[in-house]
Amino acid sequence: MALVKLKEFCIPESPGQVSACAAKYGDNALILGGGSFIHGLEARGLLSEVEALIDIRKLGLAGMAATGEGVRIGAMTTFAELEKLPELASAAWLGALKDALTYPPMQIKNVATVGGCIAASCPFFDIPTAFLALDAKLTVSGAGAKREIGLAELFAGLFENSLEPGELITEVRLAKPAGRAASAFIKLEGTANDLAIVNAAVRISVDAAGVCQEVRIALGGGVGDSVVRSASAEKLLLGQKLSADLIQHAAEAVGQDISPMEDHRATAAYRLAMAKVITRRALNQALSRLN
Amino acid sequence: MKQLISLEVNGDTHEIAVEADATLLSVLRDNLGLIGAKRGCDSGGCGCCTVHVDGKAVYSCMMYALSAQGQEIVTIEGLGTEGKLDPVQDTFVKEGAVQCGYCTCGMIMTAKQLLHDDPHPDEHAIRHGIAGNLCRCTGYHKIVEAIKTAADN
């Protein structure tokens, strides 16, 4: 992972040391989580100016906790650790996260971190799509200050995020939704160890009469510069009694909110067609978890 | 500019001068002469560089050597004892789960964690477990059978 301008590899043990390294190198310092996408960024020519890597594994940011209100996940929690969260096995509202964690191979799960996969702002990743459907909130820290932002506010374009130099994600919070809620995630992949062709995550709440009380539909895998929500599809479902026809209609509507890419994995037309299919399947999968 | 680091590999401590962007794979192979871990895709896609770091299978091509400090690294050379193969290695040999052999060391390191986490995996669990390792000879059948046999033994 050749970084031609790399001058320093920092392994800070305190937030102050992060700030010191960041202050020295500014935009040319890169925070290193699990490191499993460094190759991906390098191959896209995005690391040619990096002068310092800041490996944050000694900051104590790993760990997770579940309460009646939801789940808190430390940014350096690996996918393998997160998979052991007991609530994932039983809570229907966390289904999308459970689903998304089944896809990466063991070697990725053992190192890839929750914070790193978000900060990379890669539109092809799976976990961020699940987090967007689950309305994830982030705690961001830097230079002694701390702020809370929604996941969508972090993304600032293709492989771009809104973090300032020295800022890093410290925690991800998922609030348990009210009512009867369930979620699901589906990835369409070419091979078992490749980025998504397209992926979709949904979270839906339905009352006893079968009326949709809340819905969030998120798509990723090259359907835009970042993972996106489909307001058009959500609007069709909200407040309506759900039926197979309505779900099909809503799934078709995601086409209004995405801009599929064309690359070596798939054509834009294929991504568009499959985005609709997996949205419908994810909706049905989530609904099946309510019963 | 090189810097001096200390790595624990197969129970031994090594003081090595490395470039800041050196990967664990390059240090294992080029500095320590441990060539069991292979350089295949060199981008985290093929699994033939798999080693254990603190008991977990990782792509050594995707970990910086500096990040591996303070952790216990085990390569294929660290399995088994002098003159006696590890049971998973032994099963791969007896089952003939090797064609060209390039993926084998990575497959075995992955199989070691798979069997540690799930001592009795079914075929689906085995195939899912080795999804991060490619065999370009496509010799998966015997590899899966060897892992099954290793679990049975």
> Cα separation of B104 and A42, whole Å?
28
Vertex A98 angle, CA A196 and A31, to 5°? 65
Give how many domains chain A has, as a whole number. 3
User: In A, which residues are within 8 Å of B66 by CB distance?
Assistant: 9, 11, 55
User: In A, which residues are within 8 Å of B62 by CB distance?
Assistant: 1, 35-36, 38-39, 107, 111
Question: Chain B: which residues have CB within 8 Å of chain A?
Answer: 1, 3, 20-21, 23, 42-45, 47, 50, 53, 56-59, 61-64, 66-67, 69, 110, 113-114, 128-129, 131-134
- Asked if A39 lies within 8 A of B114 by C-beta distance, the reply is no
Measuring CA to CA, which residue among A281, A276, A232 is closest to residue A257? A232
CB B54 within 8 Å of CB B9: no
Q: Is residue A231 a part of any domain in this protein?
A: yes
CB A177 within 8 Å of CB A189: no
> Cα separation of B147 and B153, whole Å?
10
Radius of gyration of chain B (CA): 15
Co-location of A80 and A36 in the same domain: no
- pLDDT beneath 70: ranges in chain A: 1
* C-alpha distance from B131 to closest chain A C-alpha (Å): 6
* Phi and psi at residue A131, to the nearest 5°: -65, -35
> Cα separation of A11 and B67, whole Å?
8
Q: Pull the structure tokens for residue A197.
A: 């062709």
Say which of B57, B64, B133 has its CB closest to residue A35.
B64
Measuring CA to CA, which residue among A117, A63, A92, A116 is closest to residue A204? A92
State the DSSP string of A43-104: HTT--TT--EEEE-TTS----EEEETTEEEEETT-BHHHHTT-HHHHH-GGGHHHHHHHTSS
Co-location of A108 and A147 in the same domain: yes
User: In A, which residues are within 8 Å of B115 by CB distance?
Assistant: none
Q: Is residue A158 a part of any domain in this protein?
A: yes
Express each pLDDT in A97-144 by its tens digit. 999 999 999 999 999 999 999 999 999 999 999 999 999 999 999 987
Q: What number of other Cβ atoms are within 10 A of residue A268's Cβ?
A: 15
Q: Crossing angle of helices B104-117/B87-95, nearest 10°? A: 120
Gap between the terminal Cα atoms of chain A: 48
Q: What's the confidence (pLDDT) of residue A144?
A: 77
- Residue after which a domain boundary falls, among A175, A193, A208: A175
Q: For residue B1, with 0-12 CB atoms within 10 Å meaning exposed, 13-18 middle and 19 or more buried, which class applies?
A: exposed
Q: Which residue is closest to B53 within chain A, CA to CA?
A: A110
Co-location of A216 and A163 in the same domain: no
Q: What's the confidence (pLDDT) of residue A191?
A: 86
Q: What number of other Cβ atoms are within 10 A of residue A273's Cβ?
A: 14
Domains of chain B: 2-78 (3.10.20.30), 87-152 (1.10.150.120)
Residue A209 touches partner B, C-beta closer than 8 Å:
no
Co-location of A271 and A241 in the same domain: yes
Residue in B3, B21, B39, B128 to test binding to A, most A beta-carbons within 10 Å: B21
Q: What number of other Cβ atoms are within 10 A of residue A76's Cβ?
A: 24
Could you tell me whether strands B2-9 and B72-74 are parallel, antiparallel, or unpaired per DSSP bridges?
parallel
Helix, strand, or coil here: B131?
Answer: coil
* C-alpha distance from B107 to closest chain A C-alpha (Å): 11
Q: What number of other Cβ atoms are within 10 A of residue A174's Cβ?
A: 25
Express each pLDDT in B104-113 by its tens digit. 999 999 999 9
A27 to each of A3, A21, A109, A146, B86, how far by Cα in Å?
15, 11, 28, 19, 48
> Cα separation of A51 and B10, whole Å?
32
Q: Is residue A168 a part of any domain in this protein?
A: yes
> Cα separation of A160 and A190, whole Å?
25
* C-alpha distance from B125 to closest chain A C-alpha (Å): 11
User: In A, which residues are within 8 Å of B1 by CB distance?
Assistant: 7
Q: What's the confidence (pLDDT) of residue A212?
A: 97
- Asked if A7 lies within 8 A of B20 by C-beta distance, the reply is yes
* C-alpha distance from B67 to closest chain A C-alpha (Å): 7
Helix H or strand E encompassing A42: helix A38-43
* C-alpha distance from A14 to closest chain B C-alpha (Å): 16
Say which of B1, B20, B132 has its CB closest to residue A108.
B132
- Asked if B67 lies within 8 A of A55 by C-beta distance, the reply is yes
Q: For residue A232, with 0-12 CB atoms within 10 Å meaning exposed, 13-18 middle and 19 or more buried, which class applies?
A: middle
Co-location of A197 and A134 in the same domain: no
Overall size of chain A counted in residues: 291
Q: Is residue A3 a part of any domain in this protein?
A: no
- Asked if B58 lies within 8 A of A3 by C-beta distance, the reply is no
- pLDDT beneath 70: ranges in chain B: none
Q: Pull the structure tokens for residue B97.
A: 């789960």
The 3 state secondary structure assigned to A121-165 is CCCCCCHHHHHHHCCCEEEEEECCEEEEEEHHHHECCCCCECCCC
Say which of B21, B62, B114 has its CB closest to residue A3.
B21
- Residue after which a domain boundary falls, among A175, A196, A226: A175
Residue A89 touches partner B, C-beta closer than 8 Å:
no
CB A32 within 8 Å of CB A110: no
Reported pTM: 0.96
CB A247 within 8 Å of CB A284: yes
Provide the ipTM.
0.96
Measuring CA to CA, which residue among A192, A171, A191, A174 is closest to residue A183? A174
Could you tell me whether strands B2-9 and B12-19 are parallel, antiparallel, or unpaired per DSSP bridges?
antiparallel
Say which of B3, B42, B132 has its CB closest to residue A105.
B132
- Asked if B132 lies within 8 A of A193 by C-beta distance, the reply is yes
Residue A62 touches partner B, C-beta closer than 8 Å:
no
Q: What's the confidence (pLDDT) of residue A143?
A: 81
User: In A, which residues are within 8 Å of B67 by CB distance?
Assistant: 11, 32, 35, 55, 57
Co-location of A168 and A94 in the same domain: yes
- Residue after which a domain boundary falls, among A175, A202, A232: A175
CB A123 within 8 Å of CB A158: yes
Co-location of A210 and A284 in the same domain: yes
CATH number for position A246: 3.30.390.50
CB pairs under 8 A between A and B: 88
Say which of A1, A38, A106 has its CB closest to residue B57.
A106
Residue A85's domain spans which residues?
71-175
